[in-house]
Structure 1
Amino acid sequence: MKGYAMPFGRPWHLTDDVYVPVNSDAEFHWVFAVVALKERCIKVYDSMSSNSSNRKLSSEIQKMATMLPKYLELSGFFAQNERTNWSILKCYQGKNKSRPFKVSHVTGIAKQESSSLDCGIFVYAYAEYLSDGLQVSSCGISADTLRLRYASLL
């Protein structure tokens, strides 16, 4: 189930990773976040990753990193042990369950051109790579090719 996007009708405790597109209120920019539940980490894939973009998005991601564990604790997520015994995972052992998730900005990934508005295409491409069990490449993502490909799928 690794890389399974948000499960409609599927319980959270049966999912390893949850995919979340995140929009910055301050800018017209999207990033891709992977909530790695078994690692207690939010991995951020940003196709721009400029300093101003990082500062604005960091506050959005940090809000999610703080609110998510509280929601999971209150919803009884950590009590569900049929697939994963959360208490024996190293990142959960002896720690307050409502402690914020660690945030990790993934580096070495393909980036969009600085003048483009292709962040949505890159978010989709990152999701596709990861859901297929692949690493996001450091180059070779062509927004024009992806637009054509995704349009043909529609």
Structure 2
Amino acid sequence: MAASQPTGAPNSGQATEQNLYEEFHRSFVDLFGPLRFDFENPPNPSVENHRAAVEHLVPKFADNARAMELYFVRWKTIFGNLNPDELVKEEICEMEAEIRRKDALLAKIYEKLGEWKTTFTNEAMEQKKDQNEENASLLN
């Protein structure tokens, strides 16, 4: 039964999960393998060889990445359908974390606002003091 399911299907079990991960990891290593080889062996690399390798390996890597993403999306869909309460709790936690981050940002903004207010008040008082001294010196 598991053989008839597409790669990355949620019900296909641990073997498919490991297989997806191994394929993704292998394609990632294969993608950067020629670069590592050229770095370790500095003679002039062939640009055409790299181009051919990249033209083959990048789509393979992208396909494996899509398969992994599809696997996780399917699991999230199944998890959400089976446990809507958990999905709601997860969303609530994310929103609470966002509110905490925004509250912290607001606290920093209000702190800076207080500092600027104090700075401007002090500057205004100094200017007023300087003006009063200037007026006093003109009167004398």
Name the TM-score class by shorter chain. under 0.3
Alignment TM-score, normalising by the size of structure 1: 0.23
Identify, as 1 or 2, the structure richer in strand.
1
Alignment TM-score, normalising by the size of structure 2: 0.25
Q: Which has the larger radius of gyration?
A: 2
Identify, as 1 or 2, the structure richer in helix.
2
